[in-house]
A = this chain, B = another copy of it.
Amino acid sequence: MRYELYYWPSIPGRGEFVRLALEDAGADYVEVGRGDDRDGLGTAAITAYLSGARTAAFPFAPPFLKAGDQVISHVANILHFLGPRLNLAPPDEAGRCWAHGLQLTITDFVAEIHDVHHPVGASLYYEDQKPEAMRRAAVFRAERLPKFLGYFEQVLAQNPHGPEHAAGAAHSCVDLSLFQVMAGLRYAVPNAMGTAEEEFPRLSAVAARVAERPNVAAYLRSPRRLPFNQSGLFRHYAELDP
């Protein structure tokens, strides 16, 4: 199966959570958004799907994945679909349901991370909502960041299979996504994350181990891995991370 990943070409964004799973598993996939319009790829191919012109089951927003005739929207739904197929999910249904709940908690966390720099609306520039962002960032740093990181740390600590993995006894999409969240937060709010390694040692260890997995390490060194930037989900603004 050759998967088609549809996501904006210039940011890691939410697409990165799917990309990490495909790369880690060595899956065959096409990065549609980074292709050429003349080949039927590029952003025109993305917007054609979003308009509803290509399929009745059309997504609201990227990322989405095409797998055969199926178009699957939302990071968590895509990873729930890919998990068993890429050997990146617990083997039992109850385990996959738990992993999906964790993935949806990551979804919620990521939405809050985004809204720190866009509390009024995604259609406005950051510069046009800076006072609101300053207030939201203070609440995020004081309350939400430690609450979410503390939750995942405790999930790891309580895992009956050991703290090496978030869901079940083996590596899964959840571990990959936690790596990406930690990497993104270190880029976006390095000061707030200053002592995270000490405060959240199990979570930091999961992130470090993921980065050393051979396929992930090769991917991180490749040009396919886009650097974090100021158009994406994880952004660094000094005034939001004093």
Contact residues of A with B, CB < 8 Å? Answer: 52, 56-61, 69-70, 72-74, 76-77, 80-81, 94, 97-98, 100-101, 104-105, 108, 111, 115, 119-121, 123-124, 129, 132, 135-136, 139-140, 143-144, 148, 151, 154-155, 158-160
A93 to chain B, nearest CB (A): 9
**Is the Cβ of A97 less than 8 Å from the Cβ of B72?**
yes
B155–A104 touching, CB < 8 Å: no
Which chain B residue lies CB-closest to A115? B115
How far is it, in angstroms, between the C-alpha of A129 and the C-alpha of B134 when the chains are bound? 13
The smallest beta-carbon distance between A218 and chain B, in angstroms, is 30
- Asked if B136 and A105 make an inter-chain contact with CB atoms under 8 angstroms apart, the answer reads no
Which chain B residue has the least Cβ–Cβ distance from A81? B97
Given A120-B139, A139-B120; A74-B101 close (CB under 8 Å):
yes
Output the nearest chain B residue to A158 by Cβ-Cβ distance.
B56
* A124 cross-chain contacts in B, Cβ below 8 A: 139
Residues on B with C-beta less than 8 A from A76 are 104
* Known A72-B97, A76-B104: A52·B120 in contact at CB below 8 Å: no
* A136-B121 in contact given A52-B158, A70-B94 (Cβ < 8 Å): yes
Chain B residue at minimal CB-CB distance from A132:
B132
Complex contacts, A121 vs chain B, CB 8 Å = 135-136, 139-140, 143-144
Extra inter-chain contacts (4) besides given A74-B100, A121-B143, A123-B143, CB under 8 Å? A70-B97, A73-B105, A77-B100, A120-B132
Cα A98 to Cα B55 with chains together (Å): 12
In this complex, which of A52, A57, A148, A160 has the most chain B Cβ atoms within 10 angstroms of its Cβ?
Answer: A57
Residue with the greatest number of chain B CB neighbours at <10 A, chosen from A70, A111, A119, A148: A119
Q: Which residue of B lies closest to A168 (CB)?
A: B57
Q: Which partner residue on chain B sits nearest A119 by CB separation? A: B119
Cβ of A52: which chain B residues have Cβ within 8 Å of it?
A: 154-155, 158
- Nearest B residue (CB) for A60: B105
CA distance A115 to B140 in the complex (A): 14
